[in-house]
């Protein structure tokens, strides 16, 4: 049983400030750099990536032979350039052409990739692969739960498995389930399948599976799973991709003909009925800081709209300004992306002081803050994530520095040179910072931080700043969204 495996991931925020070119896929950021052939097996081993789960499951079957081609991802941003898309797709397509004796293909994809000249990066890739292999061999894909699953992705794959947690602490499981599905198909099995669109967008901060309504929906999905014979997936969607297939969706696979009024229909009806539950308040920076000060235990302020993990610039300083003006004691803000300031801090060294401006670097519409900083600690930005989601994955935030503001020494700010979502405590602890010293932590992250930071605090306040990872969907003017999809819950 010879299976070709490859991975090509990008979550495209079409409202973001910069495109993903080939270099963005080549470099190491929160995820590994571009890996080729044997590197895919060697360098994903022991990580939580879907492809690592697939590889791990295949090892127990002696007759399975994997042909690894490529694996790459880029930090969420605006469109993938045509050049990068063509170059990476060609590596996968050539790999398939060079291996005419394949029994199956597994792809580790995201599901919300928008390319300069193609709205549906994954669907287009699958269509092109079918042109080579036809329907003679199965294609199984795993997707992020933030996928905007298109009709082409559904049509040109034989089975789709997806993450079922946000924070994504089960990426590995999606790869494992993909392996079982492809094994069943290669051995002559067949899946009947169903697909339904959900007629409203869900803001990212309300897609968390640690709270209702998603927690209950995914519990039901777990209940209706029958091993690899029958399962459902709920793609909560990525609302920041302005394309016609942007919306949540449900998919269902069964080894038997799908009857009417089955579990899948019940799931569809329950998601639609829960519509108004997907809305929740976002606090403005001053409101949020005042509210946080009212607690007598530590609090997390989630800067959800400036989350680099959803394509934002990660340099908005509105919450920092509120901390300063409301004289908050002992707080930590991270990570603000500003390579120039990080470089100066490294040049001056720990204990040194310098004047600089932060904020508005990537978006001139943001407010900025110019003041004197003191260097608290420094790192080369190379560290290993330790939380459940990214455990074992090597990070690279570039030259990184922890600074304090000269006349507010109790406010610490972590500055990075590469955009990196603050979803893992290692973002701070690798700089020697002790989180117990802070009363308020400001994280540029949406939901992903909840798992690893719950030991710091379970009190989370979602804050609305002027960032490009918009969670208040009323603020977005969509041009390409299907007219039947509601954005105002
Ligand atoms: Zn995701």
Neighbours of 262 (CB within 10 A): 16
Q: What's the pLDDT score for residue 453?
A: 97
261 confidence band (pLDDT: 50, 70, 90): confident
204 CA distance to ligand 1 centroid (A)?
A: 9
In a domain, 484, yes or no: no
Residue 34 to residue 159: CA distance in whole angstroms: 25
Q: In 3D, which of 240, 424, 462, 465 has the Cα closest to residue 335?
A: 424
Residue 366, pLDDT > 90, answer no
Q: Residues with beta carbon < 5 A to ion ligand 1?
A: 144, 146
262 CA distance to ligand 1 centroid (A)?
A: 28
Q: What's the pLDDT score for residue 329?
A: 83
11 CA distance to ligand 1 centroid (A)?
A: 8
Segment 196-221 mean pLDDT: 96
Residues 144 and 228 in one domain: yes
Residues 144 and 29 in one domain: yes
156 CA distance to ligand 1 centroid (A)?
A: 22
Q: In 3D, which of 19, 7, 203, 26 has the Cα closest to residue 115?
A: 19
475 CA distance to ligand 1 centroid (A)?
A: 22
Residues 357 and 405 in one domain: yes
Do 411 and 421 form a contact (C-beta atoms < 8 A)? no
CATH number of the domain encompassing residue 217: 3.40.50.2300
Q: How many domains does the chain have?
A: 2
Residue in this structure with the two tokens 């669907």, named with its chain if needed:
123
292 CA distance to ligand 1 centroid (A)?
A: 28
Q: What's the pLDDT score for residue 407?
A: 82
Which structural domain range is residue 425 located in?
A: 285-470
Residues 366 and 461 in one domain: yes
In a domain, 242, yes or no: yes
Does the pTM of the predicted model rise above 0.85?
Answer: yes
Segment 29-43 mean pLDDT: 94
Segment 201-228 mean pLDDT: 95
290 CA distance to ligand 1 centroid (A)?
A: 31
Residue 364, pLDDT > 80, answer no
Neighbour order of strands in the sheet with 35-36? 35-36, 65-73, 2-9, 104-109, 139-143, 159-162
Residue 433, pLDDT > 90, answer yes
Residue 489, pLDDT > 80, answer no
Do 85 and 121 form a contact (C-beta atoms < 8 A)? yes
Residues 59 and 99 in one domain: yes
Q: What's the pLDDT score for residue 86?
A: 98
Residues 6+ positions from 179 with CB-CB distance below 8 Å: 53, 54, 57, 58, 106
Q: What's the pLDDT score for residue 363?
A: 76
171 CA distance to ligand 1 centroid (A)?
A: 10
Per-residue pLDDT reduced to its tens digit, 462-487 = 999 999 999 999 999 999 999 999 99
Q: Answer with the one of 278, 297, 327 that is the final residue of a domain.
A: 278
Integer CA distances (angstroms), 404 to 200, 284, 439, 442, 458, in order: 43, 24, 15, 14, 26
Residues 149 and 86 in one domain: yes
414 confidence band (pLDDT: 50, 70, 90): very high
In a domain, 454, yes or no: yes
Integer CA distances (angstroms), 234 to 136, 196, 198, 209, in order: 28, 10, 10, 11
Q: What's the pLDDT score for residue 471?
A: 96
Segment 41-59 mean pLDDT: 96
31 CA distance to ligand 1 centroid (A)?
A: 13
Going by their DSSP bridges, the two strands 408-416 and 440-443 should be labelled as unpaired
283 CA distance to ligand 1 centroid (A)?
A: 23
Q: What's the pLDDT score for residue 317?
A: 96
205 CA distance to ligand 1 centroid (A)?
A: 12
In a domain, 260, yes or no: yes
Phi, psi of 363 (to 5 degrees): -140, 105
Residue in this structure with the two tokens 């006349």, named with its chain if needed:
407
Going by their DSSP bridges, the two strands 299-302 and 440-443 should be labelled as parallel
Segment 174-194 mean pLDDT: 97
Q: Can you say how many angstroms the Cα of residue 220 is from the centroid of all Cα atoms in its chain?
A: 23
Residue 281, pLDDT > 90, answer no
Q: What's the pLDDT score for residue 10?
A: 98
Residue 54 to residue 61: CA distance in whole angstroms: 12
Residues 299 and 272 in one domain: no
In a domain, 489, yes or no: no
Residue 290, pLDDT > 90, answer yes
440 CA distance to ligand 1 centroid (A)?
A: 26
2 CA distance to ligand 1 centroid (A)?
A: 29
Residues 389 and 443 in one domain: yes
Residues 103 and 8 in one domain: yes
In a domain, 487, yes or no: no
Neighbours of 304 (CB within 10 A): 28
Here the tokens at position 23 are 């270099």
In a domain, 273, yes or no: yes
408 confidence band (pLDDT: 50, 70, 90): confident
Per-residue pLDDT reduced to its tens digit, 8-17 = 999 999 999 8
311 CA distance to ligand 1 centroid (A)?
A: 12
Integer CA distances (angstroms), 152 to 70, 124, 321, 329, 462, in order: 22, 7, 46, 53, 35
Integer CA distances (angstroms), 126 to 111, 292, 437, in order: 11, 47, 50
Do 364 and 354 form a contact (C-beta atoms < 8 A)? no
Q: Answer with the one of 278, 311, 334 that is the final residue of a domain.
A: 278
Residues 6+ positions from 312 with CB-CB distance below 8 Å: 13, 16, 305, 306, 444, 467, 468, 469
Segment 319-331 mean pLDDT: 94
Here the tokens at position 38 are 């044997």
Segment 322-344 mean pLDDT: 95
146 CA distance to ligand 1 centroid (A)?
A: 5
Least confident piece of the model among 29-33, 59-63, 140-144, 340-344: 29-33
Per-residue pLDDT reduced to its tens digit, 18-28 = 999 999 999 98
Residues 269 and 302 in one domain: no
Residues 306 and 212 in one domain: no
Q: In 3D, which of 101, 71, 89, 90 has the Cα closest to residue 5?
A: 71
414 CA distance to ligand 1 centroid (A)?
A: 24
168 CA distance to ligand 1 centroid (A)?
A: 7
Per-residue pLDDT reduced to its tens digit, 115-127 = 999 999 999 999 9
Least confident piece of the model among 63-72, 77-86, 221-230, 231-240: 221-230
What is the DSSP-derived secondary structure letter of residue 284? -
Residue 217, pLDDT > 90, answer yes
Per-residue pLDDT reduced to its tens digit, 68-117 = 999 999 999 999 999 999 999 999 999 999 999 999 999 999 999 999 99
144 CA distance to ligand 1 centroid (A)?
A: 5
Residues 250 and 359 in one domain: no
448 CA distance to ligand 1 centroid (A)?
A: 9
């Amino acid at each position: 049983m010879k299976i070709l495996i490859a991975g090509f991931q990008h979550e495209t925020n079409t409202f973001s400030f910069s495109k993903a070119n080939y270099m963005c896929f080549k470099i190491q950021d929160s995820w590994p750099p571009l890996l080729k052939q044997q590197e895919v097996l060697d360098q994903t081993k022991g990580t939580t990536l879907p492809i690592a789960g697939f590889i791990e499951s295949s090892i127990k079957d002696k007759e399975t032979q994997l042909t690894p081609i490529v694996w790459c991802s880029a930090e969420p941003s605006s469109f993938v350039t045509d050049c990068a898309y063509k170059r990476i797709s060609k590596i996968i397509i050539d790999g398939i052409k060079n291996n005419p004796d394949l029994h199956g293909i597994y792809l580790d994809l995201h599901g919300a990739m928008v390319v300069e000249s193609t709205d549906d990066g994954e669907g287009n890739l699958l269509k092109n692969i079918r042109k080579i292999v036809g329907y003679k061999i199965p294609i199984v894909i795993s997707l992020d739960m933030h996928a905007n699953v298109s009709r082409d992705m559904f049509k040109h794959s034989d089975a789709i498995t997806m993450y079922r947690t946000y924070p994504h602490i089960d990426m590995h499981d999606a790869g494992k389930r993909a392996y079982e599905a492809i094994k069943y198909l290669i051995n002559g099995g067949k899946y009947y399948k169903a697909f339904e669109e959900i007629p409203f967008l869900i803001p990212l901060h309300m897609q968390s599976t640690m709270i209702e309504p998603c927690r209950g929906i995914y519990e039901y999905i777990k209940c209706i799973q029958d091993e690899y014979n029958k399962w459902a997936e709920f793609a909560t969607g990525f609302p920041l991709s302005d394309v016609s297939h942007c919306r949540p969706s449900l998919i269902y696979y069964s080894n038997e003909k799908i009857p009417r009024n089955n579990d899948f229909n019940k799931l569809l009806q329950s998601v639609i009925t829960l519509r108004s539950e997907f809305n929740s308040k976002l606090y403005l920076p001053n409101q949020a800081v005042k509210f946080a000060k009212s607690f007598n235990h530590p609090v997390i302020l989630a800067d959800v709209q400036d989350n680099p993990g959803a394509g934002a610039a990660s340099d908005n300083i509105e919450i920092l300004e509120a901390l300063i003006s409301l004289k908050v004691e002992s707080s930590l803000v991270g990570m603000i992306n500003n390579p120039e300031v990080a470089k100066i801090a490294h040049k001056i060294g720990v204990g040194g002081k310098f004047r600089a401006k932060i904020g508005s670097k990537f978006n001139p519409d943001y407010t900025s803050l110019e003041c004197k900083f003191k260097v608290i600690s420094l790192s080369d930005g190379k560290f290993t994530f330790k939380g459940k989601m990214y455990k074992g994955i090597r990070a690279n935030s570039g030259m990184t520095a922890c600074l304090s503001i000269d006349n507010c020494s109790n406010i610490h700010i972590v500055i990075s040179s590469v955009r990196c979502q603050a979803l893992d405590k290692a973002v701070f602890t690798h700089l020697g910072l002790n989180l117990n010293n802070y009363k308020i932590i400001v994280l540029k992250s949406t939901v992903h931080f909840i798992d690893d930071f719950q030991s710091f605090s379970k009190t989370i306040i979602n804050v609305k700043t002027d960032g490009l990872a918009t969670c208040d969907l009323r603020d977005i003017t969509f041009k390409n969204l299907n007219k039947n999809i509601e954005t105002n819950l």
